[in-house]
Homo-oligomer: A and B are copies of this chain.
Amino acid sequence: MHGGDIYTEGKLKGQELIDFSSNINPLGVPESFKKSLDEALKNVVNYPDIKYRMVRESLSRYEGINEDLFLLGNGAAEIIDLSISTLKSILIPAPSFAEYHLSAEKWGVHIEYFHMKEKKNEDGTYSMYIDYEKLLQELDGVEGVILANPNNPDGSVLDKESVKKILQHCQKTGKKVIIDEAFIHFTLLEDQSLVKWVNEFSCLLVIKALTKYYGMPGIRFGYGITSSKEMRDEIEKKQNPWNINSFAVEAVKSVLFDDDYNKKSIEWLENTREPFVKRLMGFSVFNKVYRTLGNYVLCELNGITSKEFYDACLERGFLIRNADNYRGLSEYNIRLAIKDKDRNEKLFDMLNNL
Contact = CB atoms under 8 A, between A and B. Distances in A.
Query: Which of A28, A41, A53, A106 has the largest count of B CB atoms less than 10 A from its CB?
Result: A41
Nearest to A249: B218
A343 to B, nearest CB: 13
A45 B216 contact: yes
A174 interface: no
Interface in A145-164: none
Interface in A3-21: 3, 5-7, 11-12, 19
B240 A75 contact: yes
Query: Which of A12, A43, A217, A237 has the largest count of B CB atoms less than 10 A from its CB?
Result: A217
Given A45-B24, A50-B5, A218-B45, A240 B29 contact: no
Interface residues of A, number: 52
Given A240-B77, A247-B247, A6 B46 contact: yes
Interface string A97-128: 00100000010000000000000000000000
Interface string A30-54: 0000100100110111111111010
A272 interface: no
A199 interface: no
Given A45-B218, A46-B217, A74-B74, A81 B245 contact: no
Interface string A216-239: 111110000000000000000110
Given A51-B7, A53-B7, A237 B45 contact: no
Q: How many copies of this chain does one complex carry?
A: 2
A302 to B, nearest CB: 30
A83 interface: no
Main secondary structure of the interface of A (DSSP, over half): loop
A22 B46 CA distance: 8
A246 interface: yes
Interface of A: 1-3, 5-7, 11-12, 19, 22, 24, 28-29, 34, 37, 40-41, 43-51, 53, 74-75, 77-78, 81, 99, 106, 215-220, 237-238, 240-249
26 contacts: A1-B241, A3-B47, A6-B46, A7-B50, A7-B51, A11-B49, A28-B45, A37-B41, A40-B218, A44-B216, A44-B219, A45-B215, A45-B216, A47-B217, A74-B220, A74-B240, A74-B243, A75-B243, A77-B241, A77-B242, A106-B238, A218-B247, A219-B245, A219-B247, A220-B244, A247-B247
